[in-house]
Structure 1
Amino acid sequence: MSQDEELKAVKSHVHVDDLNITSIFSNQNVTINVDHEVDSDEAMILALGYKQEFKREFSLWSVFSVSFSVLGLLPSIASCFDYSQLVIGISPISWIVAMVFICSVAFSMAEVSSAFPTSAGTPYAVSQLTPPKYSALFTWLTCFSNWLCQITAAPSVNYSVASMILALKSMNSKDYTPTNGHIYALTLGLQISHMIISSLPTKWNARINTMSTITNMIFLIIVFVVILAGNNRQDHYEGISKFNSNSIAWSLENQTAWPTGIAMLQSFLGAIWAMSGYDSPFHLSEECSNASVAVPRAIVMTATCGGIIGWLFMIAISYTIVSIDQVAADPQGLGQPFVTYLCQIMDTKLVNFATSLSIISGFFMGCSCMLAASRVTFAYSRDGLFPLSKYWKRVNKTTRTPVNAVLFNFFLGQLLLLLIFAGSTAIGAIFSVGAISGFVSFTMPTLFKITYAHNKFKPGPWSLGILSRPIGFVSVAFVLVMIPILCFPYVSGKDLTNDEMNWTVVVYFGPMLLAFISFIIDAHKWYKGPKTNIEEDELMYGPGPVEVYDGVEEKNNSKSDASETNVKEENQNSLNNEQ
């Protein structure tokens, strides 16, 4: 192709430095030539170093729908009964205190997402905000921490859903007791269905997640009403009123061997895990229109709405529960504390009804978790993070979605679920691992944003303004406190056995140690952080051929061919000199 023909094929120029962002192309006077007209969203992702590979068919509402589905308040609260109520009792104080700090983490991440709207998420931000000498190492560790959060999400949700299904079976069939094999097989079936759905085209996933969010909201309200209106505990137990008194409902009841303050911090695991889905919009940035505004708004909406609704739900539980000790004892052998709680306060038909709605909500939640996780695996494979990355980063030509990444996550999820056969304590580690790994990855860019990069961070259209650093310091301090707390077992001294041990230290810090060692031994030689997938012949170094506005300029076809050829030759010479 001649120079004239090459130049005529260029429809748009994206001048990176005109977009006022920090990226792998920043401050290099880079212009990207594109063979079609681009909008502001595509200009941004190109400036960040990536081609537009997905269709942007997610709106603010549909992105919020995915994150609210991942949040899955109803199944999350049911799944985390072990890690909240059975730790500090029934008081909603624990939830609301935790939410203040969780929201600070979410708001800080929302600001980061506006500045770096790419599906790579927080690791890309870390790569741009850390000291250059350590950028690759911190980016590498942030990637693996975030990835651990993502790949444990769907398995942990589906394990909880399977447990609730089998708890209903146990309640209605007194001679049935579920085995670990039953739980694993049922979880496998749920995982397979989510694998299929997550491989569908983006438009279908957007519709499914919108439907699931509406369903989750409706079911959450219905179960909330059923708990309050269907509560007939006074018919089951003599001498108690329909609702607990304020003094009982708001009291703390330490169920651990630690002081009450430590026990309350341990109980934050329930809220942290239940609320961990607010990062999902970040990973859907490349499929969302007006991403630099819609994504942070979706994160904030998810955290605030989820936090308030969850707190109201906790109040309903605290005023209706009969005995936390009885729930812990599980006299019916159901193996699911939330179902045991429902059995205390309502008839069997209502228990079946409320639990069934929780199961349906949990199914949609697991589906959204696998969807978000597949986009993370795709983004990290695009940067060459994993062995065989060239396969995991492929986008299916038919569905225009990363089907290989979905299959990869499914396989790893099933390996994690083998912990079911090691007992309830071992499989419970995937909950706390999800909490720690997510918090570390969510907060890492905030740490550098308020320290090393304080003076060079360029906020996006959505910003916290003067509150950025104060909120950032609160979120970082909270995470630093919670990391060791989430590794504490609930018993101590002579009562601490292998079965009671908190294996989070092994399940999280083991893989993270391996990731660190692999970087020191080998990866430091080739991993330099995010890398562009834009072809070198599409890049020009030096002054752009035309003036631009907002970083994008459509080709002016009225210019003479001779003039255009001269411009092309000048920029080609500049590129050759740079190389």
Structure 2
Amino acid sequence: MESKMDAVQPHSSGSKPPFESERFKFDDRISDSDPSAANGLLESLGYEPELTRNRSTLQVAFMSFVLASIPYGLATTFFYPLVGGGPVNIIWGWLIVSLIILCVAASLGEITSVYPTAGGVYYQSFMLSPPKYQRIIAWICGWSYVVGNVMITLAVNFGSAQFIIACVNVFEVSPGVGIFEATTYQTFLIFLGITLLCNAVSSLGNKWLPLLDTFAIFWTLVGLLAIVICILVIAKDGRNSGAYVFGHFEPQSGWPDGWAFCVGLLQAAYATSSTGMVISWVSLFKIIPMQTPSLLESSMCEEVQDPSRQVPRAIVGTIILNTIAGLLFLIPLVFVLHDSAALIALVSGQPVPTIIKSAIGNSTGAFLLLLPLAVLALLCGIGCTTAVSRSVWAFARDGGIPFSKHWKVVNQSLGLPFNAMMLGMVIEIALGLIYFGSTAAFNAFSGVGVITLTVSYACPIAVSFMGGRSHIKNGKFDLGKLGVFCNIIALAWSLLAVPLFCMPSYLPVTAESVNYAPVVFVAFIIIATFWYWVWGREKYVGPPTADEAVIDLRLSGA
């Protein structure tokens, strides 16, 4: 079959802006719940459907939940709101950011219902932008998207290494001294082992990944209930009052109170950073041979039946589920939280294992309760690893990455973009070497991941909003005035997040506590700019698009 990528030409610079014309005309008698109809939509957007559709709304939500891995994500970043403001920062910071991210999810859901393609926010930004700015906006969004996936995956695997070490050290040789005081190189080797394991499972164990998704849901539920019940019932050192849990504000970062609270929001922002990634999962999942879940916002859309409805619902529904799960995890921890100054001073930077051990009263019980979080960390890493391969693949197939011909190849025996996965792994390991220079490297990885993903999500929302949102009526998830409100909140958050997460977590700043996020962020900007100047400005035309003519999706005559 001839590829649509060969048959469809991009918009010319003089064509009518996408948001000023009716891009698609859906026949009410046609439902893209039919895989062939969904493939027809995909072909009309300029892509050849290479992947099999097999996911329901519930399964997409499951995958998104695994990507977020809320208990694990909140556990590994608990330090930031603890030093930022204590209980108020932990509880209310999570709730505030969750509501903001719900607005981001709703905004992306509206757009995805119109453009449910594997390019995700990258493709959507191109389609929604005025012709004069299409290429540059798509380029910025595409690079931000790819970098965000790589950095979040790096942060997950690196955080897993640190968290596992902290879990082991609930066993002590003497008070305050764990049995495994890992050196810098030992921590790096554990990170390296986790990274290699996640890539091996994601590539070689592809067909088992849907089962892992389902397993992770029940594993998370059981583990979360066990932690909540045990620490609240036993509470060896007593329980705090409700006034303390919901009203005590104790910033210890050295920043002014208001800014300290904002810097402490990194925990919530990191844990919710996978919001748009499910779209990518949805686009690129393949059952025979199976593809693994992806963090890319739109990638799974090409593999889900009726993506125009399923993906928006899954995105919004998962945020609501994650918000509830986060509160169930955080509130009990704050009830048994004691001596926050000592927790902040922990060399591991991981307060949660110590909090749970203190509440349970013995090392064995604490370790058993932490075990579900450690396993969830590995499952999250596997999903994130798959996301990297999908994000690199989606951008490379349009020439956005140097040597794209190598990264856009789909390995037919494995049924996934293996080369793209290996590229992501090499970059992650190389960046992991930063740890030898600064033990605060995790802050840089997670900070850059949040920043770049936020920028990538903001691109289509911004051009959609400035274009009058006229295209939304062609989708199946139009929120009307509520959608306008969500757009404004999402864009305001994006403007805050970029400078916010470039800041060090606490003062005074030392070589150990400095935030390297701006350095890493600028490095990627330089690389992206250099490649655009060398290659992109002459040859990059963006993703393939449909003709301006109205597309009839009736398949009876196709």
Q: Which range, TM-score by smaller chain? A: 0.7 to 0.9
Q: CA offset at residue 42 of structure 1?
A: 0.3
Which amino acid is 2:232 matched to? L
Return the alpha-carbon distance in structure 2 between the equivalents of residues 542 and 502 of structure 1.
50
Check 1:117–1:201 CA distance in 2 against 1; reply closer, same or farther (3 A cut).
Answer: farther
Matched, 1:529 2:506: no
Return the alpha-carbon distance in structure 2 between the equivalents of residues 342 and 111 of structure 1.
41
Which amino acid is 1:294 matched to? Q
Return the alpha-carbon distance in structure 1 between the equivalents of residues 36 and 191 of structure 2.
42
Q: CA offset at residue 324 of structure 1?
A: 1.0
Q: Specify which of 164, 182, 199 is matched with residue 203 of structure 2.
A: 199
Q: Map 1:446-485 to 2 at 5 A.
A: 446-485=461-500
Return the alpha-carbon distance in structure 2 between the equivalents of residues 171 and 314 of structure 1.
20
Q: CA offset at residue 245 of structure 1?
A: 4.3
Which amino acid is 1:422 matched to? G
Return the alpha-carbon distance in structure 1 between the equivalents of residues 229 and 96 of structure 2.
25
Matched, 1:137 2:124: no
Q: Is the 8 A contact 1:67 1:277 kept in 2?
A: yes
Which amino acid is 1:346 matched to? I
Q: Which residue of 2 aligns with 1:570?
A: none
Return the alpha-carbon distance in structure 2 between the equivalents of residues 201 and 321 of structure 1.
40
Q: CA offset at residue 222 of structure 1?
A: 2.1
Q: CA offset at residue 125 of structure 1?
A: 0.6
Return the alpha-carbon distance in structure 2 between the equivalents of residues 215 and 176 of structure 1.
27
Unmatched 5+ residue regions in structure 1? Answer: 1-5, 8-12, 15-20, 30-36, 235-241, 533-538, 556-579
Matched, 1:259 2:256: yes
CA-to-aligned-CA distance 1:82-123 (integer Å, 9 cap, x gap):
222222112212211222212111111111121111121101
Q: CA offset at residue 53 of structure 1?
A: 0.6
**What secondary structure does 1:243 align onto?**
coil
Q: Is the 8 A contact 1:374 1:406 kept in 2?
A: yes
Q: Is the 8 A contact 1:93 1:250 kept in 2?
A: no
Return the alpha-carbon distance in structure 1 between the equivalents of residues 554 and 125 of structure 2.
24
Q: Specify which of 443, 449, 453 is matched with residue 438 of structure 1.
A: 453
Which amino acid is 2:227 matched to? V
Q: Is the 8 A contact 1:57 1:203 kept in 2?
A: no
**TM-score, normalising length from structure 2?**
0.85
Which amino acid is 2:41 matched to? M
Q: Which residue of 2 aligns with 1:407?
A: 422
Q: Which residue of 1 aligns with 2:521?
A: 508
**What secondary structure does 1:233 align onto?**
coil
Return the alpha-carbon distance in structure 1 between the equivalents of residues 92 and 334 of structure 2.
10
CA-to-aligned-CA distance 1:152-205 (integer Å, 9 cap, x gap):
122211212221222233332535310121111112221122112222576532
**What secondary structure does 1:108 align onto?**
helix
> Which segment drifts farther, 210-219 or 44-53?
210-219
Q: Specify which of 356, 366, 372 is matched with residue 342 of structure 1.
A: 356
Q: Is the 8 A contact 2:154 2:428 kept in 1?
A: yes
Q: CA offset at residue 282 of structure 1?
A: 0.6
Which amino acid is 2:256 matched to? P
Q: CA offset at residue 499 of structure 1?
A: 2.6
Q: Which residue of 1 aligns with 2:102?
A: 103
Q: Which residue of 2 aligns with 1:378?
A: 393
Matched, 1:127 2:130: no
Return the alpha-carbon distance in structure 1 between the equivalents of residues 380 and 370 of structure 2.
15
Identity of aligned residues (%): 25
CA RMSD of aligned residues (A): 2.9
Q: Which residue of 1 aligns with 2:41?
A: 44
Q: Is the 8 A contact 1:55 1:202 kept in 2?
A: no
Q: CA offset at residue 449 of structure 1?
A: 0.8
Q: Is the 8 A contact 1:127 1:529 kept in 2?
A: yes
Q: Specify which of 72, 82, 94 is matched with residue 75 of structure 1.
A: 72
Return the alpha-carbon distance in structure 1 between the equivalents of residues 65 and 474 of structure 2.
25
Which amino acid is 1:328 matched to? I
Q: Is the 8 A contact 2:84 2:253 kept in 1?
A: yes
Matched, 1:281 2:278: yes
Q: Which residue of 2 aligns with 1:209?
A: 213
Matched, 1:552 2:555: yes
Q: Which residue of 1 aligns with 2:190?
A: 186
Q: Is the 8 A contact 1:164 1:359 kept in 2?
A: yes
**What secondary structure does 1:462 align onto?**
coil
Q: Is the 8 A contact 1:57 1:202 kept in 2?
A: no
> Which segment drifts farther, 225-234 or 81-90?
225-234
Return the alpha-carbon distance in structure 1 between the equivalents of residues 257 and 42 of structure 2.
48
Return the alpha-carbon distance in structure 2 between the equivalents of residues 504 and 396 of structure 1.
34
Q: CA offset at residue 490 of structure 1?
A: 3.2
Check 1:27–1:385 CA distance in 2 against 1; reply closer, same or farther (3 A cut).
Answer: same
Q: CA offset at residue 248 of structure 1?
A: 5.2
Q: Specify which of 401, 405, 419 is matched with residue 434 of structure 2.
A: 419
Q: Which residue of 1 aligns with 2:292?
A: none
Return the alpha-carbon distance in structure 2 between the equivalents of residues 422 and 255 of structure 1.
25
Q: CA offset at residue 293 of structure 1?
A: 1.1
Q: Specify which of 243, 254, 262 is matched with residue 246 of structure 1.
A: 243
Return the alpha-carbon distance in structure 1 between the equivalents of residues 356 and 83 of structure 2.
15
Which amino acid is 1:184 matched to? F
> Which segment drifts farther, 37-46 or 136-145?
37-46
Q: CA offset at residue 542 of structure 1?
A: 8.4
Q: CA offset at residue 406 of structure 1?
A: 1.5
Q: Specify which of 381, 384, 407 is matched with residue 369 of structure 1.
A: 384
Q: Specify which of 51, 64, 68 is matched with residue 54 of structure 1.
A: 51
Matched, 1:322 2:373: no
Q: Specify which of 56, 59, 63 is matched with residue 60 of structure 2.
A: 63
**What secondary structure does 2:556 align onto?**
strand
**What secondary structure does 1:115 align onto?**
coil
CA-to-aligned-CA distance 1:238-268 (integer Å, 9 cap, x gap):
xxxx333424542111112222211111111
Return the alpha-carbon distance in structure 1 between the equivalents of residues 35 and 94 of structure 2.
45
CA-to-aligned-CA distance 1:374-407 (integer Å, 9 cap, x gap):
1111111111111221221111222322222221
Check 1:423–1:41 CA distance in 2 against 1; reply closer, same or farther (3 A cut).
Answer: same
Return the alpha-carbon distance in structure 1 between the equivalents of residues 402 and 257 of structure 2.
45
Which amino acid is 1:337 matched to? P
Return the alpha-carbon distance in structure 1 between the equivalents of residues 263 and 100 of structure 2.
14
Which amino acid is 1:473 matched to? I
Q: Is the 8 A contact 2:165 2:180 kept in 1?
A: no
Matched, 1:220 2:217: no
Return the alpha-carbon distance in structure 1 between the equivalents of residues 481 and 206 of structure 2.
37
Q: Which residue of 1 aligns with 2:296?
A: none
Check 1:458–1:244 CA distance in 2 against 1; reply closer, same or farther (3 A cut).
Answer: same
Q: Is the 8 A contact 2:82 2:344 kept in 1?
A: no
Return the alpha-carbon distance in structure 2 between the equivalents of residues 223 and 189 of structure 1.
27
Check 1:350–1:61 CA distance in 2 against 1; reply closer, same or farther (3 A cut).
Answer: same
Which is higher, the Rg of structure 1 or of structure 2? 1
Q: Is the 8 A contact 1:120 1:380 kept in 2?
A: yes
Check 1:499–1:290 CA distance in 2 against 1; reply closer, same or farther (3 A cut).
Answer: same
Which amino acid is 1:552 matched to? L
Q: CA offset at residue 459 of structure 1?
A: 4.2
Size of the alignment, in residue pairs? 511
Check 1:543–1:194 CA distance in 2 against 1; reply closer, same or farther (3 A cut).
Answer: closer
Q: Map 1:387-406 to 2 at 5 A.
A: 387-406=402-421
Q: CA offset at residue 144 of structure 1?
A: 0.9
Q: Is the 8 A contact 1:56 1:287 kept in 2?
A: yes
CA-to-aligned-CA distance 1:529-566 (integer Å, 9 cap, x gap):
1136xxxxxx999899xxx6x442345xxxxxxxxxxx
Which amino acid is 2:410 matched to? V
Q: Map 1:287-326 to 2 at 5 A.
A: 287-326=303-342
**What secondary structure does 1:119 align onto?**
coil
Return the alpha-carbon distance in structure 2 between the equivalents of residues 468 and 169 of structure 1.
46
